[in-house]
Structure 1
Amino acid sequence: MRKSNDKVNHLEKNPEEGALDLIHTVMHQYRSQQYQVLRDGPHDVTHMESKVLSYFGHHPGATQSDLARKTGRDKAQLARLIKGLRDRGLLAGEADETDRRNTRLTLSDAGQSVQRALQQQARRLNAKAVQGMQPEEQRELLALLNRLKNNLDA
């Protein structure tokens, strides 16, 4: 039997070529494990739906237009997401008192429950990811990742 030559999922010899690929792989693992909790739970929430819930959890009373400005996402896509979340009872809406054309959105009790589950799972996964690392190693990792981010921001 021939030995498999799988180079796709291995870090290249040159770290300059593989750092972002590895970060992408780690983020894929993180998201997969985080959203498995929601897929297997009573709400079956997608990645984009969780982002919408998170936004309104951090910005209660914001509007769909606020979300569109913040994310740059297509308004029609966001309208469908928000409608679906409202239909499932995860988002609640109330007409804006000064402009009845706008709806102010907040998390419902069920939406807050989903948000808490996401936050708890994020904390568990963060702890799992740095398991076995000394505090100094964790600080060094954060410093290096911030350096990558700053390099890309420049």
Structure 2
Amino acid sequence: MRKSVDNVNGKVAADPGTLLDAVQAVAHLVRSRQLQALRGGQEGLTPLETRVLFYFAHHPGSSLRELTEHSGRDKGQLGRLVGGLREHGWLRAESDEVDRRVTRFFLTDEALKQQQSMLKQRRLLADAAVQGLSAAERQQLAALLEQVRANLEKVG
């Protein structure tokens, strides 16, 4: 496949497929580093357990149904996983005040400490990701990514 050349500055212009590959590669690296940070050295956690903890860190008080809808995973699988996280002291459960049939989940104090460590590592990761970019370039990148996101939301 031949790449087109930008006649203004002579740089090779990336085709849309290459651009999506680059965005996906960056997203994968970010997700991977964030999962490592959330684990905080807890080697016993699986990537899915880590993602579930990350979800409850950002959505405290969510139910299993809400987690299932967000993740698109099997409710039974997630129920077993959440049960294991509770047994290991990472999650605590409370009955919903309005509907006692609904259980709400929250990170435990130990998990919250891990979250603070993760947030610190996330800030370091974000700083490393944009190292060498000026404020104007960061703004431009944010605007371009927002446009890509908006375009993809329009696609059925």
In structure 1, the partner of 2:106 is 106
SS in 2 for 1:101: coil
**TM-score with structure 2 length normalisation?**
0.77
Gap change, CA 1:31 and 1:59, over 3 Å in 2: closer
Query: How far, CA to CA, are the matches of 2:57 and 2:33 in structure 1?
Result: 21
What residue identity is the alignment partner of 2:104? R
In structure 2, the partner of 1:75 is 75
Kindly provide the CA deviation profile for residues 81-116 of structure 1, in whole angstroms up to 9, marking residues without a partner as x: 211211111100123455443322111011112222
What residue identity is the alignment partner of 2:68? A
Gap change, CA 1:57 and 1:31, over 3 Å in 2: closer
2:37–2:122 contact (8 Å) kept in structure 1: no
Cα RMSD, aligned residues only:
2.4
Instruction: Confirm whether residue 117 of structure 1 aligns to residue 117 of structure 2.
Output: yes
Q: Which runs of 5+ in 2 are unaligned?
A: 1-11
- State the shift of 1:75 in Å: 0.5
SS in 2 for 1:45: coil
Query: How far, CA to CA, are the matches of 1:153 and 1:33 in structure 2?
Result: 26
SS in 1 for 2:105: strand
- State the shift of 1:70 in Å: 3.3
Gap change, CA 1:134 and 1:128, over 3 Å in 2: same
Gap change, CA 1:140 and 1:97, over 3 Å in 2: closer
In structure 2, the partner of 1:31 is 31
Instruction: Confirm whether residue 62 of structure 1 aligns to residue 72 of structure 2.
Output: no
In structure 1, the partner of 2:148 is 148
Gap change, CA 1:60 and 1:28, over 3 Å in 2: closer
1:62–1:104 contact (8 Å) kept in structure 2: yes
How many pairs does the alignment contain?
Answer: 143
What residue identity is the alignment partner of 2:116? R
SS in 1 for 2:45: coil
2:39–2:50 contact (8 Å) kept in structure 1: no
Matches within 5 A, 1:48-59: 48-59=48-59
Gap change, CA 1:135 and 1:13, over 3 Å in 2: closer
SS in 1 for 2:101: coil
**TM-score with structure 1 length normalisation?**
0.78
